[in-house]
Amino acid sequence: MDRYVCTVSENGVDPGTKFEDLPDDWTCPICDATKDQFEKE
């Protein structure tokens, strides 16, 4: 399983949540980063 990490701050997503399961318009509840600001780790 690929792991994605927010490049802006902590992302507030529960451990084990699949990145693909987040809606395309999801933003980080802490820093408002969009999905395209995450990098595969």
The CATH number assigned to the domain holding 8 equals 2.20.28.10
> Would you state the pLDDT for residue 22?
87
Domain span at residue 7 reads 1-41
Say if pTM beats, i.e. exceeds, 0.85. Answer: no
1-41 pLDDT, tens per residue?
788 776 665 555 677 788 888 888 888 877 888 989 888 87
Domains: count for the chain = 1
Residue 22 gets which letter from DSSP? Answer: S
Q: Which of 1, 10, 8, 12 is nearest to 36 (CA)?
A: 8
> Would you state the pLDDT for residue 17?
81
CB 11 within 8 A of CB 38: yes
CB 11 within 8 A of CB 37: no
Structure tokens at 20: 């693909």
